[in-house]
Amino acid sequence: WAAVGAMAAGPDHGSGPGDSPEGPEAEAPERRRKAHGMLKLYYGLSEGEAAGRPAGPDPLDPTDLNGAHFDPEVYLDKLRRECPLAQLMDSETDMVRQIRALDSDMQTLVYENYNKFISATDTIRKMKNDFRKMEDEMDRLATNMAVITDFSARISATLQDRHERITKLAGVHALLRKLQFLFELPSRLTKCVELGAYGQAVRYQGRAQAVLQQYQHLPSFRAIQDDCQVITARLVQQLRQRFREGGSGAPEQAECVELLLALGEPAEELCEEFLAHARGRLEEELRSLEAELGPSPPAPDVLEFTDHGGSGFVGGLCQVAAAYQELFAAQGPAGAEKLAAFARELGGRYFALVERRLAQEQGGGDNSLLVRALDRFHRRLRAPGALLAAAGLAEAATEIVERVARERLGHHLQGLRAAFLGCLTDVRQALAAPRLAGKEGPGLAELLANVASSILSHIKASLAAVHLFTAKEVSFSNKPYFRGEFCSQGVREGLIVGFIRSMCQTAQSFCDSPGEKGGATPPALLLLLSRLCLDYETATISYILTLTDEQFLVLDSSLTARPRPATSSPLPGLCPARETARRLLTHYVKVQGLVISQMLRKSVETRDWLSTLEPRNVRAVMKRVVEDTTAIDVQVGLLYEEGVRKAQSSDSSKRTFSVYSSSRQQGRYAPSYTPSAPMDTNLLSNIQKLFSERIDVFSPVEFNKVSVLTGIIKISLKTLLECVRLRTFGRFGLQQVQVDCHFLQLYLWRFVADEELVHLLLDEVVASAALRCPDPVPMEPSVVEVICERG
């Protein structure tokens, strides 16, 4: 219908010549839109559509053929006024053509919709019939309903009376039951109290309370109330009594408190009292713990102790806290604060006890027990910790565990130190023993291996013991302290590196007290320590550190990938070890050199060189020197490698000596006894010195045998030189020196790195002796050789 209407309206407006100059059939979509627009216009939707056609002509324009306000008169007038004749004619024909087209369109539309009109008419006719039938049935229904209503009214009128009565009776009955309850209440209460069913009693009392309160003014009720109050007071008294006696354990007490609360006792006071009772009980626990702690050595071990503490005190505290929170939840933050303070105080005392017990444990060696005890302690405290976050119990417990762990570390460090010192004492004894027994003791190398392995095993044991602290199943092992600081700072830096440091220090202290305080440190010990330190520097330290890292830092790095500051570098431990080894070895050289040079010094100083006899053999002291040097060589050879010599033919002893004793020796001091100028001697020695390098007597040594021996021999020979220079020699004195030096030359060259050095020093000794001799007549080299070989 609407579509038809629109179409029908179309011819009225038509399509103006300005609107569609190409003709109506040219722009189908345009037309449709226009048609829709008109429909909308027709149905009052012009506003939405107005925006959609911004370019359209003013809809109010009366000259618009398609506009709603089209005024033919105005339009015609306008046309007539504005257009020339030809255009008028055109528009007339155009108009006629359009009208015709519209007429034919309309006809088509009517034909097309004719069938629809017909069927619609049929349908309407059928509906008319049906409605008529329905109207009859509705009338009938109405009459039936009226009859039903009538009946119903009559029935309810009949029943009304009876119903009212029943209602009243029921009310009376209920009231009577209540009254009966009230009247029975005192006796019931009494019975309950007698039977001890306090809960029941309190429930009754609670139910009756309000009613009694309301009907207080009636004398009978009043009596009941009074009775009730008396009984309740008794009840309260009994409850309090029970509460105070406190023997029946926390849950029952909690029940008492609950009942008392229900009876309207003041909560404040109750919670004070409750806490006081709890305190009493917990204090008893603490006292029993303290008794276990006792002044005498504690009978139960620490694990048992913490178990007792855990089940007794901590369990009790948990119950108290749980009950309290349940009962006095209404108290709000003030109540919670009170509980927290309570827990903090008692917890503090408990911790003090535990710490005292743990302190007693510090001396002991069993770490696993301690760790298990700590674990249990810590685990136990997590429950109250969760319950009472404000009391900070869990934190305090963790702190205690951390402290204990730290102390343990210190203890282990101490233990390691003691072990090291013990090792040293053993070595001392082992070194001293063979001399007493006269038989061959264990070799130095063996001793070294023993010391090294025993220290290593000590370290490993300590590490294993400490490692228990970080075991997975221990409840506190995942605390950040045990993850991070304990591993890196505590174990690695504190324990291992600390031990290595202290070991080095101990070793160095042997160098620092030169025979004054430490007494005689056996030189072999110095040597052994030096080798030990060197071994540590080269291998053991890195091995231990790697071991530590594997055991401990793995945890750390798996948890957080943060950079570990400077811990992963093995450097800090290394430097002192090498330095210590060097110092010890240097000190060894000094000590041994001193022993030999003292011998030489005494031998030079105490002899009367002017009146000595012609030398027949080598002086015994020189033989001692060679013997001692050989002994030292053997000793050092046990622990240190050979080292590098200056390349020289190994059979040079003979040859060099012949050179030394003939040409060189002659050349060296021959002029000094020819009565030429004394300048020559100086000149010669100066020139010689120009070509020889300066000898650093006390120079640091390398880590090998040759270097050590070179150092010792240098020190000894330099001493000999200085002593010779302080004396005056007779002819035979000089010859004796000659013999001695040759002897030394024969035996000492093989120990040193550069035999030239021995030559040089011995040459200088002989030359100095010659200078210090008013009558220098040297012995024939061949005689010297004979004497030496004989000696």
Q: Render the burial of 354-381: b for 16+ CB within 10 Å, e for the rest.
A: beebbeebeeeeebebbbbbbbbbbbbb
Task: Give Cα 381 distance to the centre of its chain.
Answer: 21
> Among 452, 581, 428, which residue's Cα sits nearest to residue 504?
581
260 vs 585, which CB is nearer to another protein? 585
Q: Which residues contact 546 (CB under 8 A, 6 or more apart)?
A: none
Choose the binding region for another protein from 484-492, 549-557, 642-650, 695-703 (rule: CB under 8 A): 695-703
CA distance 699 to 512: 17
299 vs 690, which CB is nearer to another protein? 690
Query: Which letter does DSSP use for residue 614 in this model?
Result: P
Binding mask 639-678 for another protein (x = CB under 8 A): ------------------------------------x--x
* Token code pair at residue 537: 């520097």
Q: What are phi and psi of 362, to 5 degrees?
A: -55, -35
552 and 491 in contact (C-beta within 8 Å)?
yes
Which of 176, 728, 777, 782 is in the footprint of another protein by CB under 8 A?
728
Kindly tell me the burial class for residue 290, based on how many C-beta atoms sit within 10 Å of its own C-beta (0-12, 13-18, 19 or more). Answer: middle
733 vs 781, which CB is nearer to another protein? 733
**Does position 579 bind another protein by CB under 8 A?**
no
743 and 707 in contact (C-beta within 8 Å)?
no
* Sign of the torsion angle spanned by Cα atoms 769, 773, 776, 782: negative
509 and 460 in contact (C-beta within 8 Å)?
no
Choose the binding region for another protein from 208-216, 437-445, 529-537, 684-692 (rule: CB under 8 A): 684-692
If you count DSSP H runs as helices and E runs as strands, how many of each does the chain have, helices first?
A: 30, 0
Site for another protein in 599-618 (CB under 8 A): 606, 610-611
Choose the binding region for another protein from 16-24, 50-58, 692-700, 751-759 (rule: CB under 8 A): 692-700
**Does position 689 bind another protein by CB under 8 A?**
yes
706 and 648 in contact (C-beta within 8 Å)?
no
CA distance 15 to 31: 9
52 vs 515, which CB is nearer to another protein? 515
Q: Using DSSP, state whether 627 is helix, strand or coil.
A: helix
205 vs 719, which CB is nearer to another protein? 719
**Does position 216 bind another protein by CB under 8 A?**
no
Which of 203, 207, 645, 725 is in the footprint of another protein by CB under 8 A?
725
CA distance 155 to 166: 17
CB of 758 to another protein, least distance (A): 17
Which of 372, 492, 705, 718 is in the footprint of another protein by CB under 8 A?
718
CB of 505 to another protein, least distance (A): 19
Which of 63, 635, 656, 685 is in the footprint of another protein by CB under 8 A?
685
Which of 104, 652, 666, 682 is in the footprint of another protein by CB under 8 A?
682
CB of 342 to another protein, least distance (A): 59
CA distance 35 to 56: 14
567 vs 586, which CB is nearer to another protein? 586
CA distance 314 to 21: 103
CA distance 448 to 525: 10
Query: Which letter does DSSP use for residue 677 in this model?
Result: -
CB of 344 to another protein, least distance (A): 52
Which of 515, 613, 627, 789 is in the footprint of another protein by CB under 8 A?
515
**Does position 582 bind another protein by CB under 8 A?**
no
**Does position 696 bind another protein by CB under 8 A?**
yes
CA distance 710 to 712: 6
180 vs 728, which CB is nearer to another protein? 728
**Does position 686 bind another protein by CB under 8 A?**
yes
531 vs 718, which CB is nearer to another protein? 718
> Among 701, 765, 761, 721, which residue's Cα sits nearest to residue 739?
765
CB of 695 to another protein, least distance (A): 8
**Does position 566 bind another protein by CB under 8 A?**
no
CB of 693 to another protein, least distance (A): 11
778 vs 781, which CB is nearer to another protein? 778
**Does position 509 bind another protein by CB under 8 A?**
no
611 vs 649, which CB is nearer to another protein? 611
With CB under 8 A as the rule, give the number of residues binding another protein.
29
Which of 23, 206, 266, 514 is in the footprint of another protein by CB under 8 A?
514
239 vs 770, which CB is nearer to another protein? 770
540 vs 685, which CB is nearer to another protein? 685
Q: How many CB atoms lie within 10 A of CB 90?
A: 13
CB of 755 to another protein, least distance (A): 21
Task: Give Cα 289 distance to the centre of its chain.
Answer: 33
* Token code pair at residue 309: 């503490």
CA distance 579 to 508: 9
686 vs 782, which CB is nearer to another protein? 686
CA distance 684 to 668: 7
CB of 770 to another protein, least distance (A): 10
Site for another protein in 320-339 (CB under 8 A): none
**Does position 679 bind another protein by CB under 8 A?**
yes
> Among 312, 452, 285, 453, which residue's Cα sits nearest to residue 377?
312
CB of 711 to another protein, least distance (A): 11
**Does position 694 bind another protein by CB under 8 A?**
yes
633 vs 754, which CB is nearer to another protein? 754
Site for another protein in 757-776 (CB under 8 A): 771-774
* Token code pair at residue 649: 């033919």
SS (H, E, C) 144-207: HHHHHHHHHHHHHHHHHHHHHHHHHHHHHHHHHHHHHHHHHHHHHHHHHHHHCCHHHHHHHHHH
CB of 668 to another protein, least distance (A): 14
CB of 776 to another protein, least distance (A): 9
CB of 721 to another protein, least distance (A): 8
Q: Using DSSP, state whether 776 is helix, strand or coil.
A: coil
Torsion, Cα 68 71 74 75, to 10 degrees, reads 70
**Does position 587 bind another protein by CB under 8 A?**
no
* Token code pair at residue 142: 């109405």
756 and 714 in contact (C-beta within 8 Å)?
no
**Does position 698 bind another protein by CB under 8 A?**
yes
CA distance 382 to 389: 10
40 vs 607, which CB is nearer to another protein? 607
CB of 717 to another protein, least distance (A): 12
**Does position 206 bind another protein by CB under 8 A?**
no
Q: Which residue has the tokens 């995942």?
A: 478
Helical axes 731-748 vs 781-790, angle rounded to 10°: 60
CB of 778 to another protein, least distance (A): 15
Choose the binding region for another protein from 185-193, 476-484, 512-520, 643-651 (rule: CB under 8 A): 512-520
Which of 190, 454, 699, 704 is in the footprint of another protein by CB under 8 A?
699
Binding footprint of another protein on the chain (CB under 8 A): 514-516, 594, 606, 610-611, 675, 678-679, 682, 685-686, 689-690, 694, 696-699, 718, 722, 725, 728, 730, 771-774
